[in-house]
Chains A and B, each alone.
Chain A
Amino acid sequence: MHITEIMNSQTRKIHLCEQCARDLQAQSFGFLPQFEIHNFLAGLLGMGPGTAKSEERTEQAACPDCGLREGQFAQNGLLGCGNCYSAFYEQMQPLVKRIHGHDRHTGKVPERTGGYARLIQQVERLKEELRQAVAREEFEAAAGLRDRIKELEKGIGQER
């Protein structure tokens, strides 16, 4: 199912999985034609730089959590679990951006588990900064980052 959308005077073709195509019409009264869906979303994967490598990846890449292979995703347009988004980050990031025109969530955060998720994410980000600081041999900055990480991790421990 393809939907052509013109946004910011750019034409984008959006490939929807069969379900979402139907979902967009869920309020129907049953007069809808049946959609024949094949390689939706697949067309958007493996495009752009690194295309040559993508076939190779299809053979190997799988999500460590749910075992979904990249090839499976290309076939039915559905991810296997939440972790697939990071397992296939390289491919998902541009795809998500192409679908939505954005790459960052600005909406609701879950009341109970959201704060926790936010802390975890923050620590991850600081750890990455720390790695970079160490690589650049900026030891003073690294020490500061290490302190902040420790403090946040204490907070995470308490939330648990």
Chain B
Amino acid sequence: MSVHDIVDNLQGGWIGGGGPESDVVVSSRVRVARNLAGMPFPHLLNKEGADQVVGLVRKASEDERFLARAGRIELVTMGELSAEERQVLVEKHLVSPDLLNQFEHKAVAIDGEEKISIMINEEDHLRIQVLLPGLQLNEAWQLVNGVDDALELNLDYCFSEQLGYLTACPTNVGTGLRASVMLHLPGLVMANQVRGLLATVTKLGLAVRGLYGEGTEAVGNLFQVSNQVTLGRTEEEVINNLLLITRQLLEHERGARAGIYRERRELVEDKVFRAYGLLKHARILSAGEAMRLFSDLRLGVEMNLLTGIPPELINELMIASRPAYLVKTGDGRKNNYEMDVHRAELIRSRI
């Protein structure tokens, strides 16, 4: 499967949904930062140096022992992709937005299942990332760890005994590990408890981010929780801490949903079926409105109020109705009005 096919495939990876605790946890992500010894970090590399890094990683990923341990990954330079293809990879979360800047220097390697992506010449020479649906932090870390070991068979990493893996930014030094979960928390938002809970989580050394819209409210009730500290804690400690706190949030979210449904059943049902009606019949949908409606629809699916809508369809539509994908499928329709019409058409045809 080529990276071009991956761009076109809207069912792959975390988008396919499922996984444990997927009524609240949309996806789990683990990434590590690695650099090659004896070479300046990417921001100091010229094109020749950057190509050298890409070449070394390519060679390491084609080695038989790598293939035996980690399987086949498809490496493509960002320059080989069109601007739209690059943007779609960002919206599928397979690469970070940074890979679009100075893209001639950069490359990405992705496995056929779209679980593993290795970004080359991002802030560090390598960013090995695994993204899985549902709550699968340990599984994601095991996969990252295996790919890391397999690459290290042929790559000399920049490592110091005192500071661990050396990274371009001191905020990543040590394990280079960032683990995060994407949570859907409509119950806590409705119950007005989300602020307090997330403030508590921040005090426990984790970073919380809503996916912000134009205002300050989280769009689509989606929140990302991740670790901040990368030095002085083992990978397992970081993963377990995040896992523990995620489980707590999960219980609170389920409690909030059940409580609201018990007290104000119609309020929940109205939200869900209103969203269903709008998504099914609206003729113009902005990106922000679509995200809000997807959240309400997702809640209906997660609470078994709505049947016949698979959760992966919502993930898929969420990506498909983002601007990059609309441009890609929109036959030249590019202004806001045209995009909103195209978005509504696309959603209507699927729900």
Contact = CB atoms under 8 A, between A and B. Distances in A.
Interface string B186-217: 00000000000000001101010101110000
A66 B40 contact: yes
B93 interface: yes
A108 interface: yes
A106 B220 CA distance: 38
B232 interface: yes
Contacts of A108: 145, 148, 164-165, 175, 234-235
B175 A79 contact: no
A6 B170 contact: no
Interface in A1-51: 3, 5-7, 14, 16-17, 19-20, 22-33, 41
A122 to B, nearest CB: 8
Contacts of A66: 40-41, 44
Contacts of B29: 26-27
B152 A104 contact: no
A102 B229 CA distance: 9
B202 A110 contact: no
Interface string B159-191: 111111111111111110110101000000000
B98 A19 contact: yes
A66 B202 CA distance: 37
A17 B231 CA distance: 17
A89 to B, nearest CB: 10
Contacts, number: 197
A112 B205 CA distance: 32
B224 interface: yes
B211 A31 contact: yes
Contacts of A28: 209, 211, 224
Size category of the A interface is 35 or more
B212 A33 contact: yes
B211 A32 contact: yes
A106 B234 contact: yes
Given A22-B96, A23-B123, A110 B226 contact: no
Given A26-B93, A27-B93, A106-B233, 10 more contacts: A6-B202, A16-B169, A23-B123, A29-B91, A31-B213, A79-B169, A99-B170, A103-B231, A117-B161, A122-B161
Q: Sort A-B residue pairs by CB-CB distance and give the 10 closest, nearest first.
A: A102-B232, A105-B164, A82-B158, A121-B161, A100-B231, A107-B175, A82-B166, A66-B40, A19-B123, A107-B234
Interface of A: 3, 5-7, 14, 16-17, 19-20, 22-33, 41, 65-66, 68, 76-82, 85-86, 92, 95-96, 99-114, 117-118, 121-122
Interface of B: 27, 29, 35, 37, 39-41, 43-44, 90-91, 93, 96-98, 122-123, 145, 148-149, 152-153, 156-175, 177-178, 180, 182, 202-203, 205, 207, 209, 211-213, 219-220, 222, 224, 226, 228-235, 287-288, 291, 318, 322-323
